[in-house]
Amino acid sequence: MHYRLYCLVVTMAAVFLCCSGGEKAQEFSLDAGPSPRPLFFDFEGLKWGMVPEEIVAVWGPPAEQPRPDTGYTDMRYRDQAGFKNVTLYFITFPPSRNIHQDVQPREGSDRPLMFLFSVLLDPGLDDIKAKETVRADLVSRFGEPLSEPKIYESQNSSREHSEIFRAAECTLAVARWAKAEPSLNWPERLDNLQYVVAPISLFMEVPRTIWNDLRGEIGLSPSADIKERYETFEKSGGSVEVKDLVKLFGPPNIYWEEAPGTGRMFYFWLTGSRFKFNIAEGKVQSSERTYVHEEQ
């Protein structure tokens, strides 16, 4: 990788040392421990965050190429991975906002950069995949579907017609079901299956080169207790030592250290909500919080 930032990402058993007022240095861990699941569910050789050229190197040329200059950013394949139609969706950034510095635009190009965040699998009408069979397979691989309503809201899905499974720590599998049609002898069946990165804020906040350093569990959505703790933090004036921040929220999902004692701490939730703390000299200098599908 060509990505260089003078950064040190906290990984296994990392310890942050903090001194204040001549007191003896205190040790506390910024390591949230290993995630309880694989971090990502990679589909058929594709990895999340890939750019179109990297995908073509794995799958070959698509049936339809994306044209970001026209706003059309899908890439479509036919008869791939056991499905009639496969659509790849990309999140786009103008070069000026791109944090994934291992990916550079072509010289002189102002076209947006594109990063894979979702795969939609459509069996087509010639391949009826019965819900009973598909659902049993999903449950055997990923466990029972999630029930949190905010997760369904975040994926624009109805619990009446779909189920969402946690395919990995940062990947959801959204199964959408079609009703039975007795006149055609069609059972209740799979309409489409979509794998999607969650939280989507990863793309905007963390370079793809350090996604695998993510630690701990990504919660479904911030609890009332967590929101109250953030209010406590804000009432303190927001300038606290990192050790006190960890006491409030626990170790972060990722600490991206850009220089010794300077970096960014992130706490993520699957809905897309997140806390971000900018750190310098062992203290919080500024913070941002985003609640998605939450009462503000």
Domains of the chain: 8-35+215-290 (3.30.1450), 52-204 (no CATH)
For the chain, how long is the longest CA-to-CA vector?
Answer: 81
pLDDT of residue 75: 94
Pairwise CA distance, residues 254 & 32, whole Å:
9
Q: Is omega for the bond preceding 199 within 30 degrees of 0, making it cis?
A: yes
Q: Is the dihedral of CA 192, 198, 201, 203 positive or negative?
A: negative
pLDDT of residue 54: 95
Pairwise CA distance, residues 224 & 231, whole Å:
11
In terms of DSSP bridges, do strands 171-178 and 189-197 run parallel, antiparallel, or are they unpaired?
Answer: antiparallel
Token reading at 146: 């999630």
Range 274-282 contact pairs with CB under 8 angstroms and sequence separation of 24 or more = 274/199, 274/201, 274/205, 275/230, 275/249, 276/205, 277/245, 277/252, 279/242, 279/255, 282/16, 282/18, 282/19, 282/20, 282/241, 282/242
10-residue averages of pLDDT along the chain (296 residues) = 34 34 54 93 94 94 80 86 94 84 72 90 93 97 95 92 97 96 92 96 92 95 94 83 92 91 94 94 92 71
pLDDT of residue 97: 80
Closest CA to 99 of 233, 247, 219, 256: 256
pLDDT of residue 4: 32
Q: How are the residues of the chain apportioned to helix, strand and coil, as percentages rounded to the nearest 5? A: 20, 35, 45
What is the tens place of the pLDDT at every residue in 170-221? Answer: 999 999 999 999 988 899 999 999 999 999 999 989 999 999 999 999 999 9
pLDDT of residue 2: 36
DSSP bridge partners of 57: none
H or E stretch at 201: helix 201-205
pLDDT of residue 68: 66
pLDDT of residue 295: 57
Amino acid symbol at 236: S
Pairwise CA distance, residues 132 & 175, whole Å:
12
